[in-house]
Chain A
Amino acid sequence: MSSYLAGRVASLILSLLVASIVIFVILEVLPGDPAQFILGMNARPDTLAALRTQLGLDGPAFMRYFGWVLGMLHGDFGLSYTYRVPVSELIVQRIGVSLPLAVYALALTLLIAFPAGLLAAARRNSASDISVMGVTQLGVALPNFWFAIILVWVFAVTLHWFGAGGFPGWDKGFWFGIRALTLPAIALALPQASILARVMRSALLDTLEEDYIRTARAKGLTRAQTLWRHAVRNALIPVLTIIGLQFAFLLAGGIIIENVFTLPGLGRLIFQGITQRDLIVVKSVVMLLVFAVIFVNFLVDLSYLAVDPRLRRR
C-alpha cells in the first residue's frame, strides 16, 4: 500500500511541476505586450517601461516562473492586469459557478448512466439493452455545445421554461441558481452519461464471464443478487477511472458550455483573459484547472485502494 501511495504522490507532484512549466512556456511566447494593451497604442515608451516594471514583466523568465509558482503555493495568484483585483478574488467569484455546474452535471451523468448501464448488462440483447446501446451511440456522437443550442431553442426560446443564459447569482436564492444551471448541466451530462453507460455495461459483461460469478450462481444466488453483490463491485475499477476523467472533463470542458449560456464561470474568465492579454489571469486559471484535473485523477488512483483490496497489500 505504501509503495503504491508513494508512487502516486510522486507522479502527482511531477505532473504538476511539468504542467506549470508547460503553461508558463506557452504563455511566454504569446505575442502581444500586456503593458501596451493596458495603455493603448499611443502610450509613451517610458510609461510603458514603467508599467512593465510595475507588473513585474521585465525580470528573467525563470525568476518570473519561480515567483509565480511560489506565489501560488501561498494562495497568491497575482494581480489581474485588466480588473486590477487579485486573481484569487476573481477565481473565488467564478468558481462559484463552474464547480456547482460540474458537480450538477456529474450527478446527472451518474443518475442516467448507472441505471442504464446496469439495465443493459442485466438484460443483455433484450429490447432495453438494444435501445440503451442505440441512444448512447447517438449520445457519444453529440457535440455538447450543439446540444446546448438545441436545448436553448426548445426549452428557452420556444417553451420559455428556462432562461436562455446568464446567471442570477447564488444570493438570489438557491433554486434560481439551480434553474440557471439546469440546461447547461443537461447539455454537459448527456454525452458523458452515454460514454459512462457503455463503459458500465461492457465492464459488467466482462465480470459476468468470470468463474466466481458462475460459482455464485451455482451456490444459489439469483441473477440480481449475483449482479449486485459480485459483479458491480468488480466492474467499478474501469468505471471509476472514467468517472474521474469525466469530472475533470466537466470542470475544464465546461468552459465552452459557459460560453453558450454566458455563465460567469472560469471558462469565460479564461476567454476574456485571452482577448484582453490578461496573461496572469489565463495562466493562473488554466493552472488551477489543470491542477483540479490532475488531482481528481490522483483521487481516483487512491479510490482503487478502497475498491480493490489486493492493492492494499502492496
Chain B
Amino acid sequence: MAEISIVPIEAPRGTLLSAALRSPSFVTGAIVTAIFVGVALLSFVWTPYDYAALDIPHKLRGLSGEHWFGTDQYGRDVFSQVIVGARTSIAVALIAVGLGVGIGTPLGLWAAAKRDTIFDELIMRANDLVFAFPALLIAILITSVAGPSATNAVIAIGIFNIPVFARLSRAAALSLWARDFILAARVAGKGRARISIEHILPNILNTLVVQITIQFSLGILAEAALAYVGLGAQPPTPSWGKMLADSQTLVGLAPHLAIIPGLCIVFTVLGLNLMGDGLRDIFDPRLQRSRQ
C-alpha cells in the first residue's frame, strides 16, 4: 500500500464558527443531524403512543392527524416506532465509532511514534488484513455466531472502524513528527508517548472529527443492514432496518411502512455526510478549490 500523505488540518480558531455558518453544506447537515438526534432524545421522555402497543382494529392506517406516520400491521404507531428506532440507530453507530476511535487512534499514534519499527509494521499489516475482509459479511458472521443483539452489532461494526482510525491517525501524526515544534518538545525532554498525547493528538483532532462524521453515517447504514437481516436489535425494540424488513411483504398494501423508515435512514446519513463535507471544507480551505 502506498504511503498516503495526509497534511493535518489547521484552522484559525476565532473564525471557525463564522466559517462554519457560511458553509451551506455544514449548516444543512448540522440542522438535519440535530433534528434526528433531537427526536431520538425526545423519545426517552415522550412518544405520542406506546411504540409496542397493539391496536389491531386500526392496523395499516395511512398518514393522519391522529397517527402522523400511520400504523403498521399490528396497529402500532409508526411515528413512535421511528423515533425510538432513531435512538437505536444513533446509539449503535455512535458506540461503534467510539470503539474505532478509542482503539484505532491510540494504535495509530503509537505506530507513528515508533515509526519503522516492528510495532509500526505489525499494526499496519494487521490493519491491511482487516481492510481486506468484506466487512458486512464478517459482521453477519459475528452477529450470527454471538447471537443477534444491538451489542453484538456494535462490536461487529466497531471492529471495522479500528483500522480506519488507526491508519488516519498514523498518517496525520507522521507528518507532524517532522515539524519543528515537535522537535522542540523532544529537545525539552518529553517522551514519545507524552508528545503524542500533548502535541500530536490536539493537532489531528480536526482530521479525526471529519472522519468521525463519515464513519458515523456508514455505521447508521451498517446497523440498518444488520437489523434488516434480523441480526441487529431484537424485537420489541424498534429499529429502522427491522421496520423495513417487516414492511417488505406489505409494500403493495401500505407503502408508507417502507418509505418512512427508509427516508429516515437516507436523511440521517445525508445530514451526516453533508456535515462531514462542510467540516472538511472549513478546516481545510485548500481543498475547497477542487471540491466546489
Chain A contact residues, CB within 8 Å of chain B: 11, 14-15, 18-19, 22-23, 26-27, 29-31, 125, 137-138, 140-143, 145-146, 149-150, 152-153, 157-158, 202, 205-206, 209, 248-249, 251-253, 255-256, 259-260, 270-271, 274, 282, 286, 289-290, 293-294, 297
B152 contacts partner chain A, Cβ-Cβ < 8 Å: no
| Beta-carbon nearest neighbor of A140 in chain B | B273
- The chain B residue with its CB closest to the CB of A251 is B134
Given contacts A141-B266, A157-B252, contact A149 B136 (CB under 8 A): no
Contacts A140-B273, A249-B134 supplied; 11 other A-B pairs, CB < 8 Å: A14-B129, A137-B270, A143-B266, A145-B244, A146-B262, A157-B251, A202-B291, A248-B134, A251-B134, A252-B137, A255-B136
B244 / chain A contacts, CB cutoff of 8 Å: 145-146, 149
**Inter-chain contacts of B262 with A (CB < 8 A):** 143, 146, 149-150
Instruction: Report yes or no: B134 in contact with A143, Cβ–Cβ below 8 A.
Output: no
* B270 near A138: Cβ-Cβ < 8 Å: yes
Residues from chain B with Cβ under 8 Å of A143 in the complex:
221, 224-225, 228, 262, 265-266, 269
What are 6 contact pairs spanning A and B, CB under 8 A? Answer: A140-B273, A143-B269, A256-B225, A270-B140, A282-B141, A293-B132
Given A27-B145, A202-B290, A294-B132, answer yes or no on A259-B266 (Cβ-Cβ < 8 Å). Answer: no
- A266 to B121 CA separation, bound complex (whole angstroms): 35
State whether the Cβ of B255 lies closer than 8 Å to any Cβ in chain A.
Answer: yes
A34 to B266, CA, bound (A): 40
B contacts with A, residue count (CB < 8 A): 39
Which residues of A have CB within 8 Å of B269?
A: 140-141, 143
Most chain-A Cβ atoms within 10 A of its Cβ — which of B133, B140, B217, B270?
Answer: B133
Instruction: Return A295 CB to nearest CB of chain B, in Å.
Output: 10
Measured between C-beta atoms, what is the minimum distance from B223 to chain A in Å? 10
Contact of A290 among B133, B147, B265 (CB under 8 A): B133
Compute how far the CA of A89 lies from the CA of B259 in the bound complex, rounded to whole angstroms: 39
Closest Cβ of chain B to A210, distance in Å, is 12
